[in-house]
A and B are shown apart, each in its own frame.
Chain A
């Protein structure tokens, strides 16, 4: 049996094996997650957690599924945050400096306090991409924000009420759809498909016996 650690879930004391993640520790304390748990693997941002350890005033954050508990942790989850999302029509939108400021005027209220960057569990330079958004530098936003899993912790700490992850998302979509070049090899293939170039070959494969397929499969030439 592993050593026990004491944790406080929203202020109430529980003792659980010290090797668990925060997520597992909450379950071990008898809770069934409905909110606050999504992928269990660090990709969905459902398990944002704010905590403090004993004898410290410092508030820290973590993804509950990717963080081991510490003795004396005071834990609270933020399973939902009523952040604003502007709706838009991506196909009509232009990648200009004004676009992001028009969709999310509040980005202009950024006071560069850096709280968002400090709080990000993915170590993303959030403030830097908000500044890039003000400048309309889409490439920079895309690069800096790509690993965002939209846990929302940045927005909870923002004194300017910016919903950073939504700003980044629309900026990335604009960058992907309107700035980056489309793949020309996809164009070519689509043209060939329109002319039904591969249909008969596929049909032939569909009709082949398993032995014929096996033979062709074994003889495939492999791209190096």
Chain B
């Protein structure tokens, strides 16, 4: 039950529900999309970005929150730091234990490589586990990888890197088969036909869900397989820097045991960065749907070592973050909720956008509805609009929500809101890092020996990712990274000593640019302690 101040608006939503149920709402033309984006999308907001003043992408625009991490010094002082001799040696080092990293590990191990994985929290404490709605793959009769291709580039503003998109859509069916073999329980008809639904911007129903625990189901199967393969791993271990040899090849990493502060190194023939996204930066003060470790570390490490980044000026704000109650502000309400029939409506119970436009467009429309048209629900902090969920039950029968959206139902019922009977309040939330480290279709970067996969990369989704294409992305490129990193490792006989001379060089650039010495990165963990407690007692304190 909502407090009194919401009741009047809820009545309006109820009053229009029946009529809305069959109402067709037009999609925007490409030109109208652009107008809406430029006027309301946060990426276009003045004063929120600046040019990076150092490194390979010098001069490129990026949000201040990213720039602050690039224009920052290493936690390690390269002038007085002696690199400890390697504590571990391996063929393939994988940094990041989400979907991309674990998929890479399984595949590299199968290719007979020695694999060592480190991750900041526990394996699977990652954005992957939080994915709800589904995974895309063009595997039905009326669909094809080419149709998928067109949806992907249209969603990305026609800016995507073609080779990467080809890899994404072409590996889709194979990835689904791999998941079936790993024991993933997709929503299926008894004869094995997979349930598929629309997502924002899809022209075919190709989103395959596992209830609304798709990421959790994928991740726990991957993790279990990873454990069955007895792959060596360390948790609560954060990467601080990459190591490069005198030829500029990546040969491992400097890591920190986040529980006792020990700094150590792993020597590796090849390295895969799979550190995921950046939601915890709270760009422009937005709340986030992301996990605790989504702090853009991989971008920082790669950038300092000379890797090229791309699409740094575009962030995905998911239109339907939780807008109320405040305890779970910014957590995700999956797009699947709209996929199965819920509608966005303003405080007066009117629709204002076709519900399955791409995310950048829907978010912009919500912001317009609140800021300009003043038709938001103003009783919540950020303002918000309704997501009319009882409509799902009206359209598809009572019990649909409990069956198809149990996680969403739980999320709200814990705070006394029953989404089968009452609409929920939403507001955009920082969700996905569209840009990232540039790579080719073999997951190689411009640094020999360094591979990347997953949300940490950029280019495949252009300026805006479609729902369900990230789970696909992390598996397609995780597997490719695992394969190619193992291949190169097998060909590598000698690994030269690793250095952090690149950090030294980067520091001198920072000094020249006049960057304040206190600014350090990577962030590793966001600090939610009250101001006066911050910087106290951290596992990095001894490095100051």
A residues engaging B (CB < 8 A)? 19-21, 24, 27-28, 30-35, 37-44, 46, 66-68, 85, 87-91, 122, 142, 146-147, 149-150, 169-170, 172-177, 180-186, 188-190, 193, 198, 201-202, 205-206, 210, 213-214, 216-218, 220-223
11 inter-chain pairs at a CB distance below 8 angstroms, sorted by A residue, are A30-B529, A34-B259, A43-B215, A44-B129, A46-B122, A87-B228, A147-B211, A201-B146, A205-B146, A205-B153, A223-B204
Q: Is the CB of A181 within 8 A of B188?
A: yes
A180 to B183, CA, bound (A): 9
Of the candidates B144, B146, B259, B327, the one whose C-beta lies within 8 Å of that of A68 is B327
Closest residue of chain A to B538 (Cβ to Cβ) is: A32
Closest residue of chain A to B208 (Cβ to Cβ) is: A183
Instruction: Enumerate chain B residues within 8 angstroms of A205, measured Cβ to Cβ.
Output: 146, 149-150, 153, 162
Q: Is the CB of A90 within 8 A of B182?
A: yes
Contact A177/B182 with A189-B138, A210-B158 known, Cβ cut-off 8 Å: yes
Of the candidates A30, A38, A150, the one whose C-beta lies within 8 Å of that of B121 is A38
Least Cβ–Cβ distance between B330 and chain A, in angstroms = 9
Contact A88/B228 with A185-B139, A221-B203 known, Cβ cut-off 8 Å: yes
Closest residue of chain A to B236 (Cβ to Cβ) is: A34
A69 to B18, CA, bound (A): 39
Contact A44/B530 with A34-B236, A147-B211, A172-B183 known, Cβ cut-off 8 Å: no
Choose among B30, B158, B538 the residue with the greatest number of A CB atoms under 10 Å from its CB. Answer: B158
Q: Is the CB of A193 within 8 A of B124?
A: no
Instruction: Enumerate chain A residues within 8 angstroms of B145, measured Cβ to Cβ.
Output: 193, 198, 202
Contact A41/B220 with A20-B327, A66-B411, A213-B153 known, Cβ cut-off 8 Å: no
Residue B537 at the chain A interface, CB threshold 8 Å? yes
B516-541 vs A, Cβ < 8 Å mask (1 yes, 0 no):
00000000010111100100111100
Closest residue of chain A to B322 (Cβ to Cβ) is: A41
Contact A68/B525 with A20-B327, A147-B213 known, Cβ cut-off 8 Å: no
Least Cβ–Cβ distance between B502 and chain A, in angstroms = 28
Choose among B151, B166, B183 the residue with the greatest number of A CB atoms under 10 Å from its CB. Answer: B183
Instruction: Enumerate chain A residues within 8 angstroms of B326, measured Cβ to Cβ.
Output: 19
Instruction: Enumerate chain B residues within 8 angstroms of A149, measured Cβ to Cβ.
Output: 216
Q: Is the CB of B30 within 8 A of A206?
A: no
Instruction: Enumerate chain A residues within 8 angstroms of B406, measured Cβ to Cβ.
Output: 147
Residue B174 at the chain A interface, CB threshold 8 Å? yes
Residue B38 at the chain A interface, CB threshold 8 Å? no
Q: Is the CB of B154 within 8 A of A183?
A: no
Contact A91/B181 with A20-B327, A147-B407, A180-B192 known, Cβ cut-off 8 Å: yes
A87 to B192, CA, bound (A): 27
Contact A172/B185 with A38-B122, A218-B30 known, Cβ cut-off 8 Å: yes
B residues engaging A (CB < 8 A)? 29-30, 121-122, 124-126, 129-130, 138-142, 144-147, 149-151, 153-154, 158, 162-163, 165-166, 169-170, 173-174, 176-177, 180-186, 188, 190-194, 198, 203-205, 210-211, 213, 215-217, 220-221, 224-225, 227-228, 230, 236, 258-259, 289, 291-293, 326-328, 331-332, 406-407, 410-411, 414-415, 525, 527-530, 533, 536-539
Q: Is the CB of A34 within 8 A of B327?
A: no
Least Cβ–Cβ distance between B270 and chain A, in angstroms = 26
Q: Is the CB of B203 within 8 A of A223?
A: yes
Least Cβ–Cβ distance between B482 and chain A, in angstroms = 18
Of the candidates B30, B125, B190, B193, the one whose C-beta lies within 8 Å of that of A38 is B125
Q: Is the CB of A186 within 8 A of B166?
A: no
Closest residue of chain B to A27 (Cβ to Cβ) is: B528
A201 to B169, CA, bound (A): 12
Closest residue of chain B to A16 (Cβ to Cβ) is: B530
Q: Is the CB of A186 within 8 A of B177?
A: yes
Closest residue of chain A to B154 (Cβ to Cβ) is: A217
A72 to B190, CA, bound (A): 50
Q: Is the CB of A183 within 8 A of B174?
A: no
4 more CB-based (< 8 A) A-B contacts, given A202-B149, A221-B203: A21-B327, A39-B125, A176-B182, A185-B193
Q: Is the CB of A38 within 8 A of B292?
A: yes
Instruction: Enumerate chain B residues within 8 angstroms of A202, measured Cβ to Cβ.
Output: 145-146, 149, 166, 169-170
Closest residue of chain A to B229 (Cβ to Cβ) is: A87
Choose among B142, B154, B198 the residue with the greatest number of A CB atoms under 10 Å from its CB. Answer: B154
